[in-house]
Amino acid sequence: MNRRGVFALAGAAAGVGLGLVAQRSAINRRRRNDPEAAERFGERRGERSRTLSLPDGAKIFVEETGPESGPAAIFVHGSCMRTDMWHYQLPGIGGHRLVFYDLRGHGMSQPKGDDAYTIERLAADLKLVINDSGASEVVIVGHSVGGMIALDLCRLYPELVGAPVKGLVLMNTTHRPAIETVIGGAPLARIERMVRRPLDAIGTRADYVDRLRQILKPTDTVFMAVSLAAFGPGASAKQIDFTYDMLAETSADVIFDLLKAYRDYEVTDHLEGVNLPVLVLGGTHDRITIGKASEEIAAGLPKAELKMLQGCGHMSMLERHREVGRSLEGFFDDVLGRPGQGDRR
């Protein structure tokens, strides 16, 4: 290599090094100035808990806050998350009865069971949780894939629409294959179709993937990637770390199952049949499920109210927990009635 090439290589290396130093400095600054730094994520639990056993061997972990009976809001978390992601909602919302559960294969819902891992199967699990709650009136709060499950429940079990299901809250979710509503969805969808077979082949050796993930350690680059993908500008570093931890603790076989489950999901033509009050929450900076998907859902539903959270990313229940909490409380009061004050609907 000639002298000019050596200088160019040295300059490039120096540039990369300076970039990494700047990145580390920016992340450290975010951690020092984080208003959520004292939050003990992952340690809150509901007031009551139980585990449901399913015929295929799966187990569903359920926990509750608030009254032990009566109308309930049932929370369905997103992909690779668990009930802990509702950290700010778990202590209670306006005195309402709140029911949270881990999707099969997530969190404390282990084992995942032998049935095929599909959105339809997850919707059937939600129906079981509704029945187990004993509530004659429920609102379903679904985030990301949780919203997809809620909409598919209405498609598969139209007899539930109106009673017991009185309303839906759809947060950062979609009505069609998830790959199509990621930022840059059209080209990504084409690529995904091309690599399905290799991905499925890798998925059959998920145990090896998990071993590799155990070796890999979180880095500043991973932090920035999660921040960019799942959060808006200036989000809490502690919330970003917590989100990464939940992703990292989800087994690879469940991740590959979810990737396959997204492919054939489509409820666009069924939205008009969901004749219920629906609150649609989206984020203007959501890159995992773009805001346009929330707008399309709200436009297709007969009784939907759309709220776009300005500057918010995908993890709205964390990033904008106060605003989300106020919206949920108002919706629960309208649809289920205000606890202790009779039916105000």
DSSP string over 46-57? -SEEEEEEPTTS
Angle between the N-to-C axes of helices 3-32 and 237-248, in degrees from 0 to 180, rounded to the nearest 10: 100
DSSP state of 272: G
How do residues 59-69 score in pLDDT, each as one tens digit? 999 999 999 99
DSSP string over 277-333? -EEEEEETT-SSS-HHHHHHHHHHSTTEEEEEETT--S-HHHHTHHHHHHHHHHHHH
How do residues 240-268 score in pLDDT, each as one tens digit? 999 999 999 999 999 999 999 999 999 99
Sign of CA dihedral 244, 245, 251, 252: positive
pLDDT bucket at 18, cuts 50 / 70 / 90? very low
How much of the chain is in helix, strand and coil states, percent to nearest 5? 50, 15, 40
Cis ω for the linkage preceding 233 (within 30 of 0): no
- Copy the structure tokens of residue 205: 């050796």
DSSP string over 71-134? SEEEEE--TT--GGGGTTTTT-STT-EEEEEPPTTSTT--S--SS---HHHHHHHHHHHHHHHT
47-54: which pairs have CB atoms within 8 A and are 24 or more residues apart? Answer: 51/108, 52/128, 52/129, 52/132, 54/104, 54/113, 54/125, 54/128
How do residues 29-85 score in pLDDT, each as one tens digit? 788 889 999 999 999 999 999 999 999 999 999 999 999 999 999 999 999 999 999
Domains of the chain: 48-336 (3.40.50.1820)
pLDDT bucket at 218, cuts 50 / 70 / 90? confident
Residue 47 CB contacts under 8 Å (≥ 6 apart), including other chains: 63, 64, 65, 66
The position carrying tokens 């091309």 is 194
H or E element, residue 7: helix 3-32
Overall average pLDDT of the 314-334 stretch:
98
Overall average pLDDT of the 275-283 stretch:
98
How do residues 3-14 score in pLDDT, each as one tens digit? 555 444 444 444
- Copy the structure tokens of residue 168: 């839906």
Q: Which of 1, 119, 103 is nearest to 54 (CA)?
A: 103
